[in-house]
Structure 1
């Protein structure tokens, strides 16, 4: 079965089609018209749609009055138990004519429908057994809900009786009414999914509310598997959640209150993983690709110093280069501008110029943490601690002395040289293009020719000499271009008189809330300027 709806856009109506057993996903910022889009889809599809609102009350009361199954389903799906299904009844009764803003308070209706289903199936099983017909009993919706819950929620199981619901843990039990917000949200979403009518389009508006990100994907795997007869539309502002799901994806760029949306499809083939593509298209800012894995300290530095950019870590230098080149090549498709920053890694002037021509700047240090050992940054940190004049000079000199002594030790220096050599070897091998070779001898010849310039002894000697010369000259700026050692951050912490962990925590707070503006300014001044063009 295929569902179809249209959304008004500045360029006319945009048609969406979705088959049962599949998902359609929209991502957008707060205020981007997400809920109103959900309302539009529900109104256009009428009785085929079952919308679960972002504005939902989560008061769980297992002691609700028990009613007939049809009465419970009508109340849940329409909001009234009067006439049979009519869309205008739902608009008034379920949504109080405020479909985009009202707080949906239907948990009681959901529980009534689940209990009614349980009573109906139990009664059928009893009558069959009484008549000697011991055919298998189909599971109740409560059975299905409990099974999904047990697979999703760790260390908590549900005990569902004829008129009660308990949560069982290794430490005891508690009534469902005392569930946490997250537990009630999970219970509610599973129940709503199971109780939607057969062959429905289920619309989830911001389903991630109250639910920890670590279980969202697992929960959604279960919900999609539970309703293969239905299609699912998810509308969310959680980029990571949307990116992780299978299905056609769209970005809601903007909303015109005259009921008009600007919507773009997430391209499937632009040279990026799906999560990165979704994040890029969901960002109103230009993109800055950086080296690293997105550790909190790295990200905090870049976000504080490049506030007008969306920061996306891309691992290695090669991945940053690929990301920038690919994004700029697809600029007309995505409408996004970007730039990149890579670690110093002792690039030669010609390499730095090549990177600059591609829109990629180079850090002044071998890795971003080394910024905290630059003399200007150490001085700014020491000033925060009240050092001034001669005491300030002494404090900066003491920290730099420890840096030089740290880099002088063979057990620290050799690993830094080894890492440099490995990076240069890896970079050379990644540039190899042996596709033209048609036989083994040609392959060997082309490989030997391409790697003949890779003199590892020369690379090791260059790195060693550069480090030792910087130490001898007491040139911290030059040393930090070559010396990549995670231990140096502990030396920077001595400018503040704290442990490394305490220093990292302080830096994170200072960068995020600008409580040490001179430190942020010193770091920012040390970083390269970038341009989106």
Structure 2
């Protein structure tokens, strides 16, 4: 049985700059990369391989148009849009459209009137053909044909899909946007940039002859993401005969095209492009694309965009692009996943997680995979380390810095001793979970999975684990080892109850410390924090 799946062909340069053909079953291709990587020049190169088969809409486009569209014949308007001129001498290589090759990627397109003129001329031709068909039917005594969907109908449909609470009307070559309940509306020349951009791009796409490749540079210009997604979904559906090539740095647009080929442009040296296809990854695709566009090495951390993790790590590691991942398991997963894409880039990625109750052995195993831990149990404990306490005491004018710091330490130690039993139990549970997660059932001949699992579980000794944790915690407790306690003490609320020792509201203490990162105390605070943060390669 023959497949009815349509295929689309596009070309990209190989390592020698020669054209290489690719096929896809999806009518869109995403070309993405950082600013200055050569994306637009690659779009121009693709067009130059087939001037007749490719129509390119440059990033620089004038969205102003006349109150009433100047009417032209279809062929004259079409030539003006596709070639920049209707004169035969200038059609080859689209010389006038791109200033005889001098402005392939920099010329400001000023063809809005011509684009609308093509659409109106199409409509006139369609109406004329319909009238002629009706006349022939009358002459033959046949039933007149039903009205067909016109170019204008398609434009109005797409407009309605993008702007469901606006409608569009075209009368006497004049476009009007309508608001429900207001028949007068407002002139197309008074539309917002987003509305005019939708009108321009939709008209461009609808007037392209069948089977063309459409290159759209920076399709996101002037468009809110929600409008952009609706527009391009509508246009791709309206023109399944065309291949859309989107040249963009918008990660959301790229990620929304889940099944499309995606080309990551790394660099261009004036003659050759370095690029790769973005592979499938365990990382969310939008995050992967965003990271590829970043010039810094990547640091995955716990927390959200406004959490203490991000604020503190961004200050401690200014040379890294800090990415919040939520929980520690996602930090570990993302660090491993990004490392698996190293063929695409030269960016290094690391992770930082809270120490929590992990054993030294477990932390060493994670470090070997590029995942590091703090020298305290959790990020909130950074607000309690000695050098930070001293800095805060000095900043908020405590008369006796040493006395204030010692009072905080004594308070933290008392809190730790009061919660010792609960902390030991939580550490024991954490250790047991880690041992259970490491069980590897390799069923020998004749043995059952249940037997293997039972044997593995039986090898875990909860009492032994409990005693080991009791020893760890009791040692630092008996010695009143403040640094050791901060390594073990998991109690996020403790740092939210020490502000009063410095004359600061308890609930505002941590924010007061964060506030020091924005002033003259920044360097001293960062230096104090670095002592407890891992040194990254």
Band of TM-score, shorter chain: 0.7 to 0.9
SS at match of 1:47: coil
Cα contact 1:66–1:116 (8 A) shared by 2:
yes
Shift of the alpha carbon at 1:250? 2.2
Structure 2 residue aligned with 1:144 = 154
| Aligned equivalents of 1:493, 1:59: Cα separation in 2 | 62
Matches of 1:272 and 1:357 in 2, distance apart? Answer: 20
Q: TM-score, normalised by structure 1?
A: 0.78
Alignment match, 1:289: 300
**Structure 2 residue 97 is the aligned partner of structure 1 residue 93:** yes
Q: What is the alpha-carbon distance in structure 2 between the residues aligned to residue 184 and residue 495 of structure 1?
A: 58
Q: Who is 1:7 aligned against?
A: 13
Offset at residue 428 of structure 1 (A) = 4.8
Q: 1:179 to 1:492 in 2, by over 3 A?
A: farther
- Asked whether the 8 Å contact 1:18–1:24 carries over to 2, the reply is no
CA distance in 2, matches of 1:506, 1:195: 60
Match in the other structure for 2:22: 17
Larger radius of gyration: 2
How far apart are 1:101 and its partner, in Å? 1.0
Give the corresponding residue for 1:194: 206
Aligned residues: CA RMSD: 4.6
Is the Cα contact below 8 Å between 2:26 and 2:260 reproduced in 1? Answer: no
Residue 260 of structure 1 is matched in structure 2 by 272
Q: 1:447 to 1:464 in 2, by over 3 A?
A: same
Deviation at 1:247, TM superposition (A): 1.9
| Equivalent pair of 1:374/1:477 in contact (CA under 8 Å) | no
Deviation string, structure 1 residues 296-346 (Cα, Å, up to 9, x no partner): 654444333323333344444344444445555665675543322222112
1:239 to 241, 244, 251: 251
Q: Distance in 2 between matches of 1:168 and 1:499?
A: 56
Alpha-carbon distance between aligned partners in 1 of 2:508 and 2:76, rounded to the nearest angstrom: 59
Specify the alignment match of 1:355 in structure 2. 366
Paired residues for 1:68-467 under 5 Å: 68-83=73-88, 86-88=91-93, 90-95=94-99, 97-125=102-130, 134-153=144-163, 156-162=165-171, 163-169=173-179, 173-245=185-257, 246-257=259-270, 259-268=271-280, 272-292=283-303, 294-295=305-306, 298-325=309-336, 328=339, 331=342, 335-377=346-388, 379-380=390-391, 386-390=395-399, 427-428=434-435, 430-434=437-441, 436=443, 442-452=448-458, 453=460, 455=462
Counterpart secondary structure, 2:95: helix
Counterpart-to-counterpart distance in 2, 1:500 and 1:125: 75
In the TM superposition, residue 457 of structure 1 has moved relative to its aligned partner by: 12
CA displacement at 1:141 relative to structure 2: 3.3
Residues 57/423 of structure 1: CA separation in 2 closer, same or farther (3 Å cut): farther
How many pairs were matched up? 520
Tell me: CA distance 1:336–1:387, structure 2 relative to 1, closer, same or farther (3 Å).
closer
In the TM superposition, residue 201 of structure 1 has moved relative to its aligned partner by 1.0
Distance 1:348 1:194, change over 3 A: same
Structure 1 residues 45 and 346 mapped into 2: Cα distance closer, same or farther (>3 Å)? same
State the alpha-carbon separation in 1 of the partners of residues 25 and 78 from structure 2: 22
Q: What TM-score, normalized to structure 2?
A: 0.78
